[in-house]
Amino acid sequence: MDKLADADIIVQVIAGNKMLFAHLVDRYKTMAFTLAFRILGNREDAEETVQDAFVKAYEHLAEFRRQSKFSTWLYRIVYNTSITRGRKKKPAMMEVDRRTLLHEDTSQADSLLYGFTEEEAGDFIRKILALLPDEDRTIITLHYLNESGIDEIHEITGLSKANIKVKLFRARKKLQEYVDQISDSVALYSINVQ
Amino acid sequence: MKSTADSADKLGKIIRSAGFEFPDKGLTERIMNRIEVATIKRPLVFKPVIGFRGWLLIAVSGILLLVLSYFLLGNSGNDTGTGITDSTVLFQRLHQIEPGFIQSIQVPKILLLSLTGLLFWIALDFLMATRKWKKHSFGQAK
């Protein structure tokens, strides 16, 4: 059943076999959760948003026109639901002070650059991503984790293609600056330690 | 000095190293519990009550009625007609057709109003059938 294409599952779900929808949930819940988490910044809100998004997707499955991939359509719902929730609720995104990050987390930066555990590196990168504006973070997440092109990001977020290109360029540049600054801090840290 | 491509590739690797966020176990079950009580909403599709053939028939009938009303009811608003059995009048009228005769046509008011109403409904039906309804935005924020 795992080999069944999304389109076939959708046809069967619309025909009344609603339990098959679980396969679509299993396939896309991780990326959907990642996307919601990157926008909302906390697990509870992200999980509720993902639940709401999947229920909305189910209720409106008959309106899915198959002009795009099911995942693209679903992530658009996740994105819009997250944005709506984020506006209703004060964003609980972990605010990371850049200076704090640069001065206090040099050990993590060290681990990132010198190949310590993936978990440590992952935590550190999440903190860096948290420094970006919501839309930039979403675009970066879709581009690098979902491997979405400009067209797909445009379909998901509704932002213009030109705007996406600009935001992607700026976000990359900003991230690169953070990474470079951290590299410098680590270099200084290493010198001071020696 | 690193090239831009190398730099972008390294940045990509760093971002990917953060990886995905994984939801708590049981998310699928919790979603499916909600799906259990949810129903698929059928999209509202506009279907004209009268189909293409129906409107064609009405249009042809209307035109026929208009033409016959000229021949059978006469070209005056007060003319009540001479009756369908009076075929000589019909032939006389047919022979009277000459360039510019349309300007001389005077259709009874009741028929004119009926045709105007009919045309209005045809136009409305056409507009509703061809209009592209905006897709549901699912709580779109924009």
Taking the C-alpha atoms of residue A125 and residue A140, their distance in angstroms, rounded to an integer, is 12
User: Which residue would you say has higher pLDDT here, A146 or A103?
Assistant: A146
Q: Which alpha helices (DSSP H) does B1-142 contain, by range?
A: 4-18, 27-37, 52-73, 87-96, 109-130
Asked whether the beta carbons of residue A54 and residue B135 sit closer than 8 angstroms, the reply is no
Contacts of A22 in chain B (CB under 8 A): 28, 31-32
Question: What ipTM does this complex have?
Answer: 0.76
pLDDT exceeds 80 at position A91: no
Least confident range from A50-64, A67-81, B44-58: namely B44-58
At B44-58, the pLDDT tens digits run 777 777 777 888 888
Q: Are B7 and A172 in contact (CB under 8 A)?
A: no
pLDDT of residue B140: 43
Contacts of A43 in chain B (CB under 8 A): 21, 23-24
At B16-35, the pLDDT tens digits run 777 788 999 999 999 999 99
Question: What is the reported pTM?
Answer: 0.63
Position A21: which residue type? F
pLDDT exceeds 60 at position A27: yes
pLDDT of residue B117: 85
Contacts of A51 in chain B (CB under 8 A): 27, 30-31, 34
62-91 in A: which are within 8 Å (CB) of B? 62-63, 76-77, 80-81, 83-84, 87
Least confident range from A1-10, A76-85, B21-30, B41-50: namely B41-50
